[in-house]
């Protein structure tokens, strides 16, 4: 069981900024825009999630990354991030999602890494420390602090 640490949106690009509450539908967070619709924003990529604890570990290495800065919509806390793998279903408040895959880091994230090596968060370089994409199975409202439960 975990919690929603932060919900983040933008009008295109990164960083995404915190909001207290958001509606989620099959396209993702209502009001969030992806600047690059070729590589982002498909139904299998409706949401991007990342772990607060992973972010804090990266901060401890000297990287200036913050929740939302790497483009995730939902920053989770209190979960074993290694269990969040493709095929996993999760309940986030009243929303249900399925993890569809790991994200491919983008050069727009280079500024969040002291050496510019945005691949620091690539699943092949740092297993268990990658952002993930998810499809929305059942939409609804998500609020900061909502419980997150792994379903499968």
Q: Is the pLDDT of residue 126 over 70?
A: yes
Q: What is the pLDDT of residues 4-18, one digit of tens each?
A: 999 999 988 889 999
Cα 25 from Cα 62, distance rounded (Å): 36
CATH of the domain at 72: 2.40.33.20
Which structural domain range is residue 52 located in?
Answer: 2-150
Structural contact between residues 74 and 4, judged by C-beta atoms closer than 8 angstroms: yes
How many domains does the chain fold into?
1
Cβ atoms within 10 Å, residue 13: 12
Cα 92 from Cα 46, distance rounded (Å): 14
Q: Is the pLDDT of residue 37 over 70?
A: no
pLDDT for position 12: 80
Any idea what the Cα angle at residue 98 is, between residues 94 and 100, rounded to 5°? 150
Question: What does the mean pLDDT of the chain come to?
Answer: 92
pTM, two decimals, is 0.92
């Amino acid at each position: 069981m975990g919690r929603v640490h932060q919900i983040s949106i933008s009008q295109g690009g990164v960083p995404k900024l915190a909001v207290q509450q958001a509606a989620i539908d099959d396209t993702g967070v209502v009001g969030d825009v992806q600047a690059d619709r070729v590589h982002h924003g498909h139904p299998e990529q409706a949401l991007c999630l990342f772990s607060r604890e992973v972010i804090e570990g990266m901060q401890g290495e000297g990287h200036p990354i913050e929740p939302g800065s790497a483009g995730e919509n939902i920053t989770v806390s209190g979960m074993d991030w290694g269990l969040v793998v493709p095929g996993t279903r999760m309940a986030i408040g009243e929303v249900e999602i399925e993890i569809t895959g790991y994200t491919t880091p983008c050069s727009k994230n280079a500024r969040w890494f002291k050496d510019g090596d945005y691949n620091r968060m690539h699943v092949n370089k740092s297993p268990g420390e990658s952002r993930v994409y998810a499809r929305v199975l059942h939409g609804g409202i998500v609020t900061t602090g909502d419980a997150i439960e792994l379903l499968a």
